[in-house]
Chain A
């Protein structure tokens, strides 16, 4: 199930457009599915008048979830050992997000080879919204 160590090369990279022109309805979908109904993300009146934001913005965890696809499309789900991100900037309705995964290193761990990936998601202005890392078990 895991990718073979010979099929993954250090420096190799994959890019994926996660969403084009993010719609508010998608944020509502994520609120419903995740159970995070914080009105900051779905309630324009609250976000602007009570919280002082220019409008609603996506859950950070929605961006992390979307970013995961660049990894799961590449290596699958089973070999994932870790996945972590830092939230760098808000994602707003209308944003187009592109994620990049890069193989940073391949190390021989006691249980077999492990690939370390860096992850980066940017918006249509090239600004980072999420950066992160993941480790993936490889077959040898």
Chain B
């Protein structure tokens, strides 16, 4: 199989189910609907966890540094289920870029981009198709107000 392996483990599901406050007894055998998001743990290239020997952008002695493009937000997330994800199986995640488009917000252009991840089983059969829409405001990151992102842009595409 192509893509990085994602072992669906019961202890991992227990921790995930507690975190989202959904401790359905069915999670003994099946994964919660958004659990494939946690495949980030098994993605060798995931940049949202600190790695040994690499600079991490969070605070330490100093406040940390907002990375390039760090003003991006998650605008939409969609999952299609071809069948439930079962505890004990290994899925293979393969991500490709999707469409990209622009919209004029009140404070400037908003750049939207899609990422499509297919989770397949060991036989190559599709299990979950995930579509992520991210939005990045064009130009340098500006200080954020306490307002939700959508009230500063007049759009409802950002959180």
Q: Which residues of A contact B (CB under 8 A)?
A: 18-19, 26, 29-30, 32-39, 43, 45-46, 48-54, 59-62, 64-66, 68-69, 71-73, 76-78, 80-90, 127, 129-130
CB-based closest 7 A-B pairs: A87-B159, A39-B58, A89-B148, A84-B78, A65-B20, A49-B63, A35-B40
Pick the contact of B156 from A48, A71, A72, A88 — CB < 8 Å? A88
Residues of A within 8 A of B38 (CB): 33-35
Pick the contact of B19 from A30, A38, A48, A83 — CB < 8 Å? A30
| Assembly CA distance A49 to B156 (angstroms) | 26
State the Cβ distance, A70 to closest chain B Cβ, in Å. Answer: 9
Residues of B within 8 A of A81 (CB): 80-81
Pick the contact of B148 from A36, A48, A84, A127 — CB < 8 Å? A127
**B39-73 contact mask (Cβ, 8 Å, vs A): 1 or 0:** 11101001011100000011100011110001001
* Contact A62/B64 with A36-B48, A87-B73, A87-B74 known, Cβ cut-off 8 Å: no
* Contact A39/B24 with A45-B64, A81-B81, A87-B75 known, Cβ cut-off 8 Å: no
Pick the contact of A65 from B34, B81, B146, B148 — CB < 8 Å? B34
**B75-94 contact mask (Cβ, 8 Å, vs A): 1 or 0:** 11111110010000000000
Q: Is B22 a contact partner of A33 (Cβ separation < 8 A)?
A: no
What's the A-B contact tally at a CB cutoff of 8 Å? 179
| Assembly CA distance A15 to B146 (angstroms) | 28
Q: Is A83 a contact partner of B33 (Cβ separation < 8 A)?
A: yes
Residues of A within 8 A of B122 (CB): none
**What secondary structure prevails in chain A residues at the interface with B?**
mixed
Pick the contact of B33 from A77, A86, A127, A129 — CB < 8 Å? A77
Q: Is B40 a contact partner of A36 (Cβ separation < 8 A)?
A: yes
A30 (CB) vs chain B CBs: closest residue: B19
Answer yes or no: B18 CB below 8 A from chain A CBs. Answer: yes
18 A-B pairs in the complex with CB atoms less than 8 angstroms apart:
A34-B16, A35-B49, A36-B48, A39-B64, A43-B58, A49-B64, A59-B74, A65-B33, A66-B20, A68-B32, A80-B33, A84-B77, A84-B78, A86-B75, A86-B76, A86-B157, A89-B148, A89-B149
Q: Is A33 a contact partner of B19 (Cβ separation < 8 A)?
A: yes
* Contact A32/B19 with A82-B79, A82-B80, A87-B76 known, Cβ cut-off 8 Å: yes
Pick the contact of A38 from B27, B48, B148 — CB < 8 Å? B48
B80 (CB) vs chain A CBs: closest residue: A82
Q: Is A18 a contact partner of B21 (Cβ separation < 8 A)?
A: yes
State the Cβ distance, B125 to closest chain A Cβ, in Å. Answer: 16
Answer yes or no: B116 CB below 8 A from chain A CBs. Answer: no
| Assembly CA distance A38 to B73 (angstroms) | 12
Q: Is B144 a contact partner of A51 (Cβ separation < 8 A)?
A: yes
Residues of A within 8 A of B117 (CB): none
